[in-house]
Chains A and B, each alone.
Chain A
Amino acid sequence: MTLLEISNLKKSFDNNEVLKGIDLKVNKGDVVSILGPSGSGKTTLLRCINFLEKPDGGHLSFEGKEYDLSKISKSDISSIRKDTGFVFQGYNLFANKNVLENVTLGLTSARHVPKKQADEKALEVLKKVGMDGYKDYYPSQLSGGQQQRVAIARALATDPGIIYFDEPTSALDPELTSEVLEVMRELASEGMTMIVVTHEMGFAKEVSSHVVFMADGRVIEEGNSKEFFDDPKEERTREFLRLTEH
Chain B
Amino acid sequence: MFNAQTLELLISSFPKILVYGLKVSLPLALTAFVLSTFIAVLVATVQYAEVPVFRQICRFYIWIIRGTPLLVQLMVAFYGLPLFGINANPFLVAIIVFSICEGAYSAETMRAAMEAVPAGQLEAGYCVGMSYIQIMWHIILPQAFRTAFPSLFNALISMVKDTSLASSITVVEMFTRTKQIAGQSYNYFPLYIEVAAIYLIFCTVLTFVQKRGEKRLGNYGIRK
Which residues does A use to contact B, with CB under 8 Å?
50-52, 78, 81-82, 84-86, 88, 90, 92-98, 105-106, 109-111, 137-141, 151, 154-155, 157-158
Which residues does B use to contact A, with CB under 8 Å?
117-118, 120-121, 123-131, 134, 138-139, 142-143, 146, 220-222
B128 is contacted by which of A51, A98, A106 (Cβ under 8 Å)?
A106
If A105-B138, A110-B129, A140-B222 are given as contacts, then 12 extra A-B residue pairs at C-beta distance below 8 Å, sorted by A number, are A51-B126, A86-B124, A88-B120, A88-B123, A92-B124, A93-B121, A94-B121, A94-B124, A96-B139, A110-B128, A151-B124, A154-B124
Given A81-B129, A96-B143, A110-B131, A90 contacting B120 (CB threshold 8 A): yes
Interface centre among B125, B131, B139, B221 (most CB of A within 10 A): B221
> Main secondary structure on chain B at its contact with chain A?
helix
The distance from the CB of A76 to the nearest CB of chain B, in whole angstroms, is 13
Cβ–Cβ contact B131 & A78, under 8 A:
yes
Cβ–Cβ contact B130 & A106, under 8 A:
yes
Across the two chains, which residue of chain A brings its CB closest to B222? A140
Cβ–Cβ contact A82 & B125, under 8 A:
no
Cβ–Cβ contact A141 & B129, under 8 A:
no
In whole angstroms, what is the CA distance A81 to B135 when docked?
A: 14
In whole angstroms, what is the CA distance A157 to B127 when docked?
A: 12
The distance from the CB of B119 to the nearest CB of chain A, in whole angstroms, is 9
Cβ–Cβ contact A109 & B134, under 8 A:
yes
**Shortest Cβ-Cβ A-B pairs, 3 listed:** A106-B128, A138-B221, A92-B120
Across the two chains, which residue of chain B brings its CB closest to A110? B129
Given A109-B134, A138-B220, A138-B221, A96 contacting B128 (CB threshold 8 A): no
Across the two chains, which residue of chain B brings its CB closest to A82? B129
Cβ–Cβ contact B130 & A105, under 8 A:
yes
| A and B contact pairs by CB, cutoff 8 A, 11 listed | A52-B127, A86-B127, A92-B121, A94-B121, A95-B143, A97-B138, A105-B125, A109-B130, A109-B134, A140-B220, A158-B128
Interface centre among A90, A105, A139 (most CB of B within 10 A): A105
Cβ–Cβ contact A105 & B221, under 8 A:
no
In whole angstroms, what is the CA distance A81 to B127 when docked?
A: 6
Cβ–Cβ contact B221 & A141, under 8 A:
yes
Across the two chains, which residue of chain B brings its CB closest to A77? B126
Residues of A close to B130: CB separation below 8 A: 105-106, 109-110
